[in-house]
């Protein structure tokens, strides 16, 4: 009888198998969760979303609902939608007041009908973490880019653009490693106990540890007449590949576009006109549609059918352009109320308490409703 542990171990030397394993490891490293989550491009987008939603005000809602929807809560929702694709909150009543608690993890169960969904939430505290199971009516679930195959799950933009996110992560990782290399200068000095060399060593060591004094053999009298040749410092440190720098910049701009932020809005070399147009596109093309989705969830779950999120402070930046549009329309014979509606400035249009507009005059922001939602 021969015991199994007496058998000699044999290992596969198939080159194709080894290549596939290495390729899978490389792809997993490139497409891992750390690909672009720690980059400035994603943080720029996330902070813009958070600040935009924090500036929103809750209008046409009961007082207890408006008090529960705080700027901090809206800022967290905006950031989570971009980074995680969803944001889940527990609806509860504490000491007679409506309260909203963010869940750090959640699990959804149920059938195709959202009315049958139940949520298992994990709520974190400084020392205690609690898990609760609640019906869908007691949970706020904001989602970004819902897939019909998984309607209970929101997908962040960088998961849709995983290859671009991986490209940015690889380039940022390379530049981060390159930037952490030691840097400084090497100052040559005359070998021996030359007083000038000793003074240079002591002075440079006291000023900066990144400056080192190196020695070389004594030079001839002829060479001593050209000291600049021997005292020229030698610099050492990171030398990033220019191609990788350009790749990082292009990938960062692509990530901004995937997140709905016009790249020209954050580029320092963009002029004021381009940035104002980019800002308007971002507000009307990104912030406003996402806010509509957030509004619907708040209305349905908090029993506030008329609730709306107002971004008057942000949309006021486009007030001048819309006022010009109203002026052009009224000069062309379009009635004022229709011109205000076309320019989305009709919040106070038709208000009998508003004074009449002089012929050909541009409506003031106070009479036009201050911008309002698009």
Note the pLDDT tens digit of each residue in 194-233.
555 556 556 555 544 455 545 444 444 444 455 555 556 6
Supply 79's token pair: 């950031």
What are the domain boundaries of the chain? 27-180+242-310, 182-237, 313-368
Q: What is the pLDDT of residue 352?
A: 33
Report residue 308 CA to chain centroid gap: 24
Q: What is the pLDDT of residue 32?
A: 46
Cα(313)–Cα(283) distance, integer angstroms: 11
Question: Strand, coil or helix: what is 280?
Answer: helix
Supply 123's token pair: 């709520």
pLDDT: is 355 or 293 the higher one? Answer: 293
* Mean pLDDT (the chain, rounded): 77
Q: What is the pLDDT of residue 170?
A: 87
- CA angle in degrees (0–180, nearest 5) for 258-259-264: 85
Confidence of residue 341 (pLDDT cuts 50, 70, 90): confident
pLDDT at 286 over 80: yes
pLDDT at 19 over 80: no
Confidence of residue 53 (pLDDT cuts 50, 70, 90): very high
**pTM of the predicted model as reported, rounded to 2 decimal places:** 0.70
Note the pLDDT tens digit of each residue in 27-42.
555 544 456 788 899 9
Find the mean pLDDT for residues 302-321: 83
Note the pLDDT tens digit of each residue in 167-182.
898 888 888 888 887 7
* Lowest-confidence pick of 29-38, 272-281, 321-330: 29-38
Residues 35 and 166 sit within 8 Å (Cβ to Cβ) = yes
Cα(312)–Cα(348) distance, integer angstroms: 14
H/E run at residue 262 = none
> Dmax over Cα atoms in the chain, in whole Å?
110
Confidence of residue 7 (pLDDT cuts 50, 70, 90): low
Residues 238 and 182 sit within 8 Å (Cβ to Cβ) = no
Find the mean pLDDT for residues 264-268: 85
Q: What is the pLDDT of residue 340?
A: 81
Strand segments (E) across the chain: 57-59, 86-94, 97-102, 105-109, 118-124, 129-135, 139-143, 146-147, 150-154, 184-190, 211-216, 234-236, 308-310
pLDDT at 157 over 80: yes
pLDDT: is 269 or 194 the higher one? Answer: 269
Report residue 136 CA to chain centroid gap: 29
Residues 339 and 326 sit within 8 Å (Cβ to Cβ) = yes
CA distances from 21 to 26, 166, 167, 350 (A): 9, 19, 21, 70
Q: What is the pLDDT of residue 6?
A: 54
Q: What is the pLDDT of residue 334?
A: 87
Q: What is the pLDDT of residue 371?
A: 40
For the chain, percent of residues with pLDDT exceeding 90: 42
């Amino acid at each position: 009888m021969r015991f199994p542990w007496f058998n000699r171990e044999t290992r596969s030397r198939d080159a194709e198998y080894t290549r596939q394993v290495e390729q899978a490891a490389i792809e997993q490293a490139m497409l891992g969760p750390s690909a672009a989550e720690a980059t400035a491009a994603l943080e720029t987008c996330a902070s813009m979303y958070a600040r935009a939603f924090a500036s929103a005000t809750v209008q046409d809602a009961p007082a207890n609902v408006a008090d529960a929807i705080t700027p901090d809560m809206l800022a967290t929702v905006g950031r989570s939608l971009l980074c995680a694709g969803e944001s889940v909150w527990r609806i509860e009543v504490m000491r007679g007041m409506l309260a909203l608690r963010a869940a750090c993890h959640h699990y959804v169960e149920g059938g195709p009908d959202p009315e049958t969904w139940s949520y298992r939430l994990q709520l974190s505290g400084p020392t205690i973490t609690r898990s609760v199971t609640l019906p869908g009516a007691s949970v706020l679930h904001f989602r970004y880019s819902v897939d019909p195959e998984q309607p209970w799950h929101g997908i962040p933009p960088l998961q849709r653009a995983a290859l671009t996110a991986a490209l940015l992560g690889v380039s940022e990782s390379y530049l981060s490693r390159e930037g952490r290399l030691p840097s400084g200068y090497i100052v040559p000095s005359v070998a021996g106990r030359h007083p000038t060399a000793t003074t240079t060593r002591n002075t440079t060591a006291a000023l900066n540890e990144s400056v080192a004094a190196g020695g070389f053999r004594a030079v001839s009298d002829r060479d001593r007449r050209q000291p600049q040749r021997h005292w020229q410092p030698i610099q050492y440190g990171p030398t990033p590949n220019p191609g990788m720098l350009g790749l990082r910049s292009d990938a960062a701009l692509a990530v901004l576009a995937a997140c709905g932020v016009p790249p020209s809005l954050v580029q320092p070399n963009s002029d004021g006109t381009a940035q104002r147009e980019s800002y308007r596109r971002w507000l009307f093309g990104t912030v406003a549609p996402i806010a509509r989705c957030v509004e619907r969830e708040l209305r349905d779950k908090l029993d506030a059918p008329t609730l709306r999120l107002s971004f008057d402070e942000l949309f006021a930046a486009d007030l001048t352009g819309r006022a010009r549009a109203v002026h052009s329309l009224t000069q062309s014979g379009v009635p004022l109320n229709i011109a205000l509606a076309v320019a989305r400035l009709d919040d106070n249009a038709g208000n009998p308490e508003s004074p009449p507009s002089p012929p050909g005059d541009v409506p003031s922001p106070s009479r036009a409703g201050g911008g309002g939602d698009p």
